[in-house]
Amino acid sequence: MENKVKYAIYPIFLMLFFFTGQSFAQIPVRTGPASPEEIKKALTVVQANMDSLKAHRTYIYAMGIYSPLLVSQYNAWMEKYPNSVNIPLAIGTVYHNAEMPQATEFLLKAAAIAPQNGKIWSMLSDDAFNRGQMDSAKEYAGKAMLADTSNAVYAYSYLSFFADGDPKEYKQKVFDFVKRYPSDERGAQALYFLATNAANNNDKIDYFEALHKLYPPQNYRWSAGGMIELTDLYLQQDPQKALSLISEMGKDEDWKARSQFAEALIQINKLEQDQNYKAAIVEAGVAKLPRYSALADFMALKTARLQAKAGNVQMAYDSLASKFAILPTDSLYTALKYYGDKIGKKEVQVDKDVAAIRYKTAVAAYPFELGLYTSNGKLNLNDLKGKVVLLTFWFPGCSPCRAEFPHFEAVINKFKKQNVVYVGINVLPRQGDYVNPLMKSGRYSFIPLRGSEEFAKNNFGVQGEPENFLIDKNGKIVFKNFRIDQSNHRTLELMISSLL
C-alpha cells in the first residue's frame, strides 16, 4: 500500500507502515508506454524466457501498466502455457504493487497453479482488503499462513483480523502468537498493539511491561516505540519510575527531553506538596512537553490546579478554555465548568467563551464541487449549508484512513437524526475502482467524492492522509488536524455537538 501518511502525530506510525504484516505496494516509476523499439525488444526477451519474472516486469513496464493490450496478451499466454505460474504471477504482482483491481484475476490463477506459495495468498489478502472484502482478506491471509507456517509476517497478518473480536480471546491469541514467535519483531508488534488498544491504563501498563520483558527495547523496534507510551503513562502516575525507564532507553534527544520533563514533574510535585504553588506554576510554565507525547491534557489540568490553588482561578479557567476549544475532552470540560463556577460563570457562558475562541481562527472552507462515486452527479459544498460536515481526505490503500472509518461511523451513528453529513474525498483517482466495493462491503455511510492530491493540497492544505476537518453549518472550518480512534470517540462527539 502506498505510504502517504503524515507522521506528525506519533513516531510509531513510521513503524506501523514499514513493519506491519501487510505488503506495501511500490508504485512503478513508469506507467508507460515506452518507445516501440523498447517494447519490441522487451517482447522478444520475454518470449524467449516465459518463466522469467524479471523479463515479464520489463515487458509490462515497457507496455505501460494501464495498457488494455496487456490483459489480452497475458490471457493468451496463460492459455498457451497453462502450467506456468510466473505468467499470471508477473502481471498480478505488478498490478498488485500498483494497487489496481485487476490484480485479483491473475493472482487467483497463479494461486490455483501454486497453492503453497504464501506470497500469492498474501497479495490476494492485500487486494481484498483494499476492496473492503474483509472475509476474503481474512481467508487469504489464513492460506498464506498455512502455506508457510514459519513466516511470522503471514501469521501476524492473519492474527490482525481477530483484533476487533472478543478482547479476552484476542489477548490469548496474542500471547499464543508471542510464544510461537518469541524472537520475531512481529511478536513485539502484536504486544504493542494489544497495549495501545487496551481499554484502560492499567491494562496498557501491564501489556507494555510484558512487551519490555519479552522483547528488549534495545533489540526490537516495536518495543522501543512502546516504551515511549509506557513512559508517558508512568509520568502521569510515578515520574520517578518513568525516570528509571528513561535512563535505560538511552540518551538521544527525545529521551533526554523526557528525562528533563520527568525531573521537572518531580520538582513540581514537591513544590505542590510544600504548598509553594507559585513556584510550582513557574516550573510548570517552563517544563517542555516531549515531542509526540500524550501528556498535553495531563499537564494542562495540573497547571490549572496549581493556578487555582495559588488563588488565580481566572487564569486556570482561561488556560483550560483555550485548550478545550482546540481539542475537547470530558476531563477538560469538567475542570473548565468547575473553575467557571468558581468565578461565577454558568455553563451557557462557558460554552460562549469557548465558541468565541474557536471562531477567532475559523476560516471559510473551499466551496468545492466534486463528482460522486455513487452516481454521475456532483456535490457542491454549498449544497450542505445548514449541516455540520465531517470531511476526511483518504484513499483506498490508506491503512490509517481505513482504521479510522469505524470510529467515525460509531460517532456519526449517534447523530443520525441531526444535521450532520459525513464526506470522504478520495485523493488517488487511480484507486477509484476500489471505492464503491469498499463502501458496500464496509457498510460505510460517508459520501464518496472524486478528488486528487493536488485538489487536497491546494485547497485544504492537506499534506498526507488521512486529514480531517469539521465544517460548521455556515461553511467554516472550525476543527482540523484531529485523529479519532477507540480512545477518543468522545472528542469527536463534543466537537460535532458544539456545532449543532
| CA gap 279, 272 in Å, rounded | 9
Q: How confident is the model at residue 26 (pLDDT cuts 50, 70, 90)?
A: very low
pLDDT score of 6 more than 50: no
Q: Check residue 3 and give its pLDDT.
A: 34
Contacts of 191 (CB under 8 A, 6+ apart): 174, 178, 207, 210, 211, 214, 215, 222, 223, 226
453 phi and psi, to 5 degrees? -60, -40
| CA gap 367, 378 in Å, rounded | 13
The three three-digit cell numbers of residue 389, written as one number: 460536515
The pLDDT of 13-21, averaged and rounded, is 36
| CA gap 217, 196 in Å, rounded | 16
| CA gap 384, 33 in Å, rounded | 42
- Tens of pLDDT along 371-399? 999 999 999 999 999 999 999 999 998 98
Q: What share of the chain is helix, strand, coil (3-state, %, to 5)?
A: 65, 5, 30
pLDDT score of 20 more than 60: no
pLDDT score of 4 more than 60: no
The pLDDT of 17-36, averaged and rounded, is 51
pLDDT score of 294 more than 50: yes
The three three-digit cell numbers of residue 392, written as one number: 476526511
33-37, 318-322, 406-410, 480-484: least confident range: 33-37
Of 3.40.50.2300, 3.40.50.2020, 3.40.30.10, 3.20.20.120, the CATH number of 369-499 is 3.40.30.10
Q: How confident is the model at residue 101 (pLDDT cuts 50, 70, 90)?
A: confident
Q: What does the angle CA 1 – CA 224 – CA 170 come to, to the nearest 5 degrees? A: 65
| CA gap 141, 122 in Å, rounded | 6
User: Hey, where are the domains in the chain?
Assistant: 12-167, 369-499
In a 13 Å sphere around the CA of 206, the CA atoms on its Cβ side amount to 10
pLDDT score of 491 more than 90: yes
The pLDDT of 109-127, averaged and rounded, is 96
Strands 378-380 and 369-371: antiparallel
The residue among 382, 350, 386, 409 whose CA lies nearest residue 473 is 386
Q: Check residue 227 and give its pLDDT.
A: 96
21-35, 108-122, 123-137, 194-208: least confident range: 21-35
| CA gap 481, 464 in Å, rounded | 11
Which has more confidence, 26 or 109? 109
pLDDT score of 443 more than 90: no
| CA gap 369, 428 in Å, rounded | 17
Q: How confident is the model at residue 500 (pLDDT cuts 50, 70, 90)?
A: very high
pLDDT score of 145 more than 90: yes
Q: How confident is the model at residue 210 (pLDDT cuts 50, 70, 90)?
A: very high
The pLDDT of 295-311, averaged and rounded, is 96
The pLDDT of 347-351, averaged and rounded, is 96
Instruction: Report the percent of the chain where pLDDT is more than 70.
Output: 94
The pLDDT of 438-449, averaged and rounded, is 91
Using an 8 Å Cβ cutoff, are 204 and 175 in contact? no
The residue among 489, 491, 488, 471 whose CA lies nearest residue 480 is 471
- Tens of pLDDT along 43-98? 999 999 999 999 999 999 999 988 889 999 999 999 999 999 999 999 999 999 98
- Tens of pLDDT along 255-286? 999 999 999 999 999 999 999 999 999 999 99
pLDDT score of 242 more than 90: yes
pLDDT score of 193 more than 70: yes
Using an 8 Å Cβ cutoff, are 1 and 399 in contact? yes
Q: Check residue 2 and give its pLDDT.
A: 36
The CATH-assigned architecture of domain 12-167 is Alpha Horseshoe (1.25)
One-letter identity of residue 68: P
| CA gap 428, 410 in Å, rounded | 26
DSSP 438-476: HHHHHT--SEEEE--HHHHHHHH---SSSEEEEE-TTSE
Average pLDDT, the chain: 91
Sign, CA dihedral 207-208-212-216, equals positive
| CA gap 135, 91 in Å, rounded | 25
Q: Check residue 15 and give its pLDDT.
A: 39
| CA gap 220, 222 in Å, rounded | 6
pLDDT score of 16 more than 70: no
Q: How confident is the model at residue 30 (pLDDT cuts 50, 70, 90)?
A: low
pLDDT score of 18 more than 80: no
CA-to-CA dists, residue 156 to 160, 251, 324, angstroms = 6, 32, 39
The three three-digit cell numbers of residue 300, written as one number: 494542562
The three three-digit cell numbers of residue 302, written as one number: 495540573
